[in-house]
Amino acid sequence: MSEGDLEFVVEPNEAGKLLDAILRGRLNKSWGAVRTLIERGKVTVDGDRVIEPTRRLRAGASVSLRMNARRFDPDALEDDRVVFHDPHVVVVRKPAGISTIPYEPGERGTLEEKVRLWLVRRAKHAPHASLGVVHRIDKETSGLVVFTRTLAAKKVLGQAFREHTIERRYVAIVHGLITAKRTFRSSLVEDRGDGLRGSAKDPNIGQPSVTHVAPIERLQRSDGLDALAAKEAATLLACALETGRTHQIRIHLSEARHPLVGDRVYTRDWIRDGHALIPAPRMMLHACILGFEHPITGRPLRFLDAPPEDFVSVASKLAGRKVTVEPEKLPL
């Protein structure tokens, strides 16, 4: 550690307090100086960079201050998030909290924008970077995404996605217990009758959708210390997409009465059934495996990405012990 660096765990009496207040209590610095350190990207919480001084922290959160950390650039994509790139494709690890592509005119800070900027900066003299979108994942979902860099690659890879020959596997934390492998099949429509996307009652309309799931681990404390976790058990789940419709995993699991932990949309039925929602900082879904044939060379490519710390933290809290997820060992 360099001079001025700091590491600590948030104490129970600090739970719910703001990051800047907690950090200032440990540093001999002014409010302005502490907030500047945070906004410049010098502070991480549970391994993730946090640039909002007013972020409220939970007890047990791990906070780290690194004075020599690279200054935060809100438009930059960290080099370690690019797992593969060549003249035809680029594969990146999307963080939770940013859109894959703009959903509204003028939306900034999307993954697409960050990847374009990364490619331009790497080329140094390139005036722009061409980028093709062939799939996307939800804003709150983390994990692997591929973009194409040439029209030929986009045509081939886009067709592969339409023909469902791409390997796409996720890990999720869901409410309730799923104890065996299951397959969900339905036709998805934009409005199932209550304003939400969902499965059509008439199988002849909508988009045919198939999701395979398999339990990895039951997440339920046995020590009786966590009343919520004891009452509302959860399951660490592997999900494999046979098709790739919008919100497919979220819809299929919700309609099976196992909504994703942290989902703020597809939980009406769960709440209506009298269940409580398990708290989480975001939707607990991570795209951990992406496999496809290279669109130009035909070489098989397969990428694995373990879930980030916020996902692991929720799973570990529910289980009452440290939980690890190894993508290469998924039961699907």
Catalytic residue ranges: 138
Per DSSP, the three-state class of 133 is strand
Residues whose CB is less than 8 angstroms from the CB of residue 82 and which lie 6 or more positions away in sequence, other chains included: 90, 91, 92, 115, 118
Spatial distance between the Cα atoms of 82 and 223, rounded to a whole number of angstroms: 41
- Angle at CA 7, nearest 5°, toward 4 and 9? 145
| CA 198 to the chain's CA centroid | 22
Helices (H), 40-188: 111-123, 151-162
Residues whose CB is less than 8 angstroms from the CB of residue 32 and which lie 6 or more positions away in sequence, other chains included: none
Per-position b or e across 187-197, b if 16+ CB within 10 A of its CB: bbbeebeeeeb
Helices (H), 177-293: 227-231, 248-255, 268-272
CB 223 within 8 A of CB 214: no
Return the HEC string of 244-296.
CCCCHHHHHHHHCCCCECCCCCCCHHHHHCCCCCCCCCCCCEEEEEEEEECCC
What separation in angstroms does the CA of 120 have from each of 107, 108, 130, 156, 171?
Answer: 20, 17, 9, 24, 32
Spatial distance between the Cα atoms of 312 and 307, rounded to a whole number of angstroms: 7
Which amino acid type is present at position 151? L
Task: Extract the tokens encoding 184.
Answer: 């969900």
